[in-house]
């Protein structure tokens, strides 16, 4: 029941963050890609283009959502598969595209992944994360990069409170690894 409520919460949260649905990503006849960042409700989105096979990042920039359209000229990219990612503080939307013989074609599939959300209440941390069943690991490291706490999950969602009062005073780094992504949730003084 708790999982169903959490999934409903994230679904409603998504509607509030991006009420217009998926952002516009379209290919033009001039081997360009056009996005519409104004459809996002956050103040900016991060735009990343990476090679599909190597994972090399070719473009990574922050774009203000006050812009209606943003065009990317891809004429210098060689034939191959690439991924376009748009992200904000809560989610990442990805769409693959292929360049072949100077023709750019977008996949119709757009995937959405939600980022973990953590809040602090004194020396207690609350973690909420829609993992969609991916194996996920939470780790907390001290200033010397020693793992002082780690937990693995295989649930579809995580909603958990951690009491960290037993840790010695200091600055700790919280990291969540899920699937092929690593999320750094920042440093926290305890």
**pLDDT, tens only, 62-79:** 999 888 888 899 989 999
Q: How many angstroms separate the CA atoms of 100 and 98, rounded? A: 6
Secondary structure element (H or E) that encloses residue 9, with its range: helix 2-17
- Give the pLDDT score at 29: 65
Q: 117-189: same fold as 2-113? A: yes
Smallest Cα–Cα separation from 53: which of 25, 83, 75, 32?
83
CATH architecture, domain defined by 2-113: Sandwich (2.60)
Secondary structure element (H or E) that encloses residue 140, with its range: strand 136-141
Proportion of the chain above pLDDT 90, given as a percent: 54
Q: pTM score, two decimals?
A: 0.76
Mean of all residue pLDDT scores within the chain = 85
- Give the pLDDT score at 45: 93
Q: What are the domain boundaries of the chain?
A: 2-113, 117-189
Smallest Cα–Cα separation from 173: which of 140, 146, 127, 129?
140
Query: Which CB contacts under 8 angstroms, 24+ apart, belong to 109-112?
Result: 110/22, 110/25, 112/14, 112/22
**pLDDT, tens only, 106-133:** 888 989 999 999 999 888 999 999 998 8
**pLDDT, tens only, 128-183:** 999 988 999 999 999 999 999 999 999 899 999 999 999 888 999 999 999 889 99
CA dist 188 → 89, 136, 139 (Å): 18, 21, 13
According to CATH, what is the number of the domain 117-189?
Answer: 2.60.40.3080
């Amino acid at each position: 029941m708790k999982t169903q409520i959490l999934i409903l919460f994230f679904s409603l949260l998504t509607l509030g963050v991006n009420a217009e649905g998926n952002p516009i990503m379209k290919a033009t006849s001039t081997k360009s890609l056009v996005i519409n960042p104004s459809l996002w409700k956050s103040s900016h989105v991060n735009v990343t283009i990476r090679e599909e096979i190597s994972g090399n990042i070719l473009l990574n920039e922050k774009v203000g959502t006050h812009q209606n359209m943003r065009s990317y000229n891809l004429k210098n990219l060689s034939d191959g598969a690439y991924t376009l990612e748009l992200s904000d503080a809560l989610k990442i939307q990805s769409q693959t595209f292929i360049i072949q013989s100077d023709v750019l074609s977008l996949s119709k599939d757009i995937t959405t992944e939600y980022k973990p959300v953590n809040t602090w209440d004194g020396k207690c941390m609350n973690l909420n994360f829609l993992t969609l069943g991916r194996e996920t690991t939470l780790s907390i490291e001290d200033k010397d990069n020693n793992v002082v706490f780690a937990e693995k999950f295989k649930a579809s969602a995580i909603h958990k409170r951690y009491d960290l009062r037993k840790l010695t005073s200091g600055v700790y780094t919280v990291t969540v690894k899920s699937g092929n992504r690593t999320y750094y949730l920042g440093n926290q003084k305890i």
